Chains A and B, each alone.
Chain A
């Protein structure tokens, strides 16, 4: 009797589980899948530590710890200091889409690579504010630069440099990690001083801070920037995506929304880079993998933190997490930079460069 009852209960429970499981499978959001091809020094990458990556049509630029790599027609070419590059460590990259020139921020200056010619700007030979160039962006005839001693802007028409620091902006710290520029706004991600916004029309600066101050507790969620230690900013469709070492934020000019591991699909709050796709979608590069947010759901791509095997997880709006079967993953879980090539993605990691080829 007892055995029969238990059997019935067990069968019913199993059936219910199967139904629920099936329902869960059906409900799991469809997130982009990639086949990752990884590059290391073994196949020509100048160095495995890749700080930055830039898509330039069919060409890929990789800023590494030992030179600037250019991947073209299946082979790598390396530019280094002997070619005129300011320093071997290339921290940031930007493309002037009008001219095709590439700007490289390095540990010892800013270089322009223009059809093979490299011109270098340093704090000694130009108006550049500091030689450690963490970020660079090109907008129209202006090159915007984030350095270890403030931001600055080079006017390519007049060759005039304008410096932005604690003397002429509300920048309380001058360690500037990232910059994003558009015709209407320029944003600086200031390490320890929040987010700075320049209205290009009015010339007015605004500063966005963590409403909790430097307290690492989140007392006022969605009330402002998640933390003062900002590392990266991306501005697209009039929405600023901001990364910090303690979570990320989205700002549409009026409302803030914060993302934390505890209530989003972020694999880690420690975020090195954010790349907005549009007003609703963005990629995040963290110390624990690459994350994609489609406005509702999240997916994470990385080699497993425990056994290194490729993994992809999907988190839906209700917080349900499912594992997707994958056979490839980015070269490393420590993500430093991201760029997009149509539906494909390029990822700079602490141990190699990855090309995520979108699977249909």
Chain B
């Protein structure tokens, strides 16, 4: 090839590139998005990420089982090399798994399928799929192999199944949003935590519990009270069973956010209980005075009981606690000190960075490594206990980061807030809600109290905020969040766009009150007629604006307008309230804009004396029950 030809070729390529670039610019300009394609590393494709959440070691220690929420599978790895042995497909959005005591079976709780997958660990194939209750999140078999216990998030209970057949025998009342089950070391007891607070009177401190189940009798024998706690996650025990620890979120929702002097809206804590602690549980902070470690989730205690390891979803690290120092400290300070963030300096000995949204924590059999499942990085961090050095084991999956994934990472991190105090997922637990009411704005004590709402299926429900003050999600998630929550510089425009894209993509979970094929029960059918009626029981026409179906119209149950329905408070700045959507309304207690109605019934039995919130006072009690049965199907 001659130099001249090469020169011509070069000129031609450059010219072609210029033309192509110009064409791209024109196209991009026409689309109004000139910067993204050129400047952003994120792709628009919807990619199937692995999203590991929990891990287990096989009884012989040879295999590592990884529960992958994004791909609906269990991945089986070689413990030494981390090479993949097999993938086992399970139900949709698995959240918890455990082995049978003999290790022959692996049970997986599939939250959106309402099933438990039973995997034969010899063949690594699904041997059975058992239908269970609403949104199973945790599953454990008792040591005798008689019962299988399944924690149900939506029905707030623990179902007891026949471990051989999967037949449901009974349900035990647990905390609201029952999720994580941990056996005591001897297997005689199960400890169950829950992710939403138990019901309490309006504007009182949240209350939670650890539900303790006797596995032999399959009954609840104790409820360890967790005062002030709204959200509980994993529990771990020392090998001798004398020390139990639970990862928790302790909100300060009764205090106006603008007035929080000492720290953020949450304290990230551990609850300690057991013989080493004393007759009452003790809550200890994990945060520091000017640095926060949001959303403690996974917990593990070393076999020699010298260390506790805690993963933090928001701050993307693992806290290491010296147990001896911790116990010395709590015995020297018998009073509650959860809000004294200086306390953590007495027992926290290290913070180790891991991947995004770390979840399950697992100790290797020899106790020399701590494994952490990084949900939003599709990886496992392996921490060398002695050196505290971390290596990362990637799980096979998409190499590129999509816009949705970036939005999800943004949603779950706390890095954007002042001192890393909180992230979106603090109040929207697992992208849902938190069951709390908050005093968010700097408008004085007790002014404009608001109920937190679920964020699923938000398309077509704008405007947002209790008074409809935010016309769209960028406003809701951007300046408002920056001002009231993060108290820090907010996202750049494109990060905000990705966050909004993620939030807008959240689907509505399956409605558990609907019959298959959209049929209604007789009670639901009668309730639907009441919802849509235009004439009251006395034959009087109901004005259109006073019918349920007027404001709560359309597929989402909102006409996207604001009205005075008589539930405004003297402490509200406006009496006009945004009409909330009805999607999965049964799940999101409390109700009304300020959460004053503890149940759906109270909306009408207490807070609708003048029929301003729909004509309902002509209804009998059974008719009101029918109306509520219908609303639950929305």
Contacts and interface: CB of A to CB of B under 8 A. Distances in A.
B365 interface: no
Contacts of B219: 99-100
Given A99-B220, A124-B606, A149 B621 contact: yes
Contact of B523 (A116, A123, A160): A160
Given A129-B621, A149-B621, A99 B173 contact: yes
Contacts of A117: 173, 198, 209, 223
Contacts of A157: 133, 155, 171
A125 B605 contact: yes
- B-side interface mostly: mixed
Nearest to A140: B170
B196 to A, nearest CB: 15
Contact of A125 (B598, B620, B622): B598
A101 B621 CA distance: 27
A127 B625 contact: yes
Contact of B602 (A125, A156, A161, A167): A125
B622 A141 contact: no
Given A99-B219, A115-B220, A156-B171, A163 B602 contact: no
Contacts of A261: none
A359 to B, nearest CB: 32
Given A116-B223, A162-B523, A167-B622, A124 B605 contact: yes
A167 B537 CA distance: 15
B221 A161 contact: no
B622 A115 contact: no
A119 B173 contact: yes
A152 to B, nearest CB: 9
B601 interface: yes
Given A124-B605, A125-B598, A125-B605, A161 B222 contact: no
Interface residues of A, number: 30
Interface string A222-240: 0000000000000000000
Interface in A58-86: none
Interface in B123-149: 133
Contacts of A100: 219-220
Interface in B99-158: 133, 155
B462 to A, nearest CB: 31
B173 A141 contact: no
B599 interface: yes
A109 to B, nearest CB: 12
Interface string B612-629: 000000001110110011
Nearest to B606: A124
A327 interface: no
B12 to A, nearest CB: 73
Contacts of A162: 523, 625
Contacts of A167: 620, 622
Interface in B182-222: 198-199, 209, 211-212, 219-222
Nearest to B156: A159
Contacts of B606: 124
Contacts of A158: 513
B172 interface: yes
A112 B173 contact: yes
B529 interface: no
A163 B599 contact: no
A322 interface: no
Interface in A266-306: none
A299 B620 CA distance: 47
A123 B173 contact: no
A144 to B, nearest CB: 16
A98 interface: yes
Nearest to A161: B625
B625 A125 contact: no
Nearest to B173: A114
A314 B622 CA distance: 49
Contacts of B620: 167
B350 interface: no
A165 interface: yes
Contact of B628 (A101, A114, A127, A149): A127
A12 interface: no
Nearest to B604: A124
Contacts of A159: 155
A126 interface: yes
Nearest to A116: B223
B169 interface: yes
B191 to A, nearest CB: 13
Interface in B575-620: 598-599, 601-602, 605-606, 620
B621 A99 contact: no
B64 to A, nearest CB: 36
B222 A123 contact: no
Contacts of B629: 160
A209 B633 CA distance: 40
Contact of A123 (B199, B220, B621): B621
A114 B157 CA distance: 12
Contacts of B222: 115-116
B625 A99 contact: no
A216 B222 CA distance: 52
A112 B171 CA distance: 14
Nearest to A119: B173
Nearest to B212: A115
Interface string B220-235: 1111000000000000
Contacts of A119: 173, 199
B395 to A, nearest CB: 37
Interface string A133-166: 0000000010000000100000011111111010
Contacts of B621: 123, 127, 129-130, 149, 163
Contacts of B624: 127
Contacts of A123: 605, 621
A278 B212 CA distance: 36
Contacts of A99: 170-173, 219-220
Nearest to A114: B173
A161 to B, nearest CB: 5
B435 to A, nearest CB: 15
What are the 8 tightest A-B residue pairs by CB atom distance, in nearest-first order?
A163-B622, A124-B605, A98-B170, A127-B625, A100-B219, A115-B220, A125-B599, A114-B173
Given A115-B221, A163-B625, 19 more contacts: A99-B219, A115-B220, A115-B222, A116-B223, A117-B209, A119-B173, A119-B199, A123-B621, A124-B601, A126-B599, A126-B601, A127-B621, A127-B625, A127-B628, A157-B133, A157-B155, A161-B625, A162-B625, A168-B622
30 contacts: A98-B169, A98-B170, A99-B170, A99-B171, A99-B172, A99-B173, A112-B173, A114-B220, A114-B223, A115-B211, A115-B221, A115-B222, A117-B173, A117-B209, A117-B223, A123-B621, A124-B606, A125-B602, A127-B601, A127-B621, A127-B628, A156-B171, A157-B133, A157-B171, A158-B513, A160-B629, A162-B523, A162-B625, A163-B622, A163-B625
Interface of A: 98-101, 112, 114-117, 119, 123-127, 129-130, 141, 149, 156-163, 165, 167-168
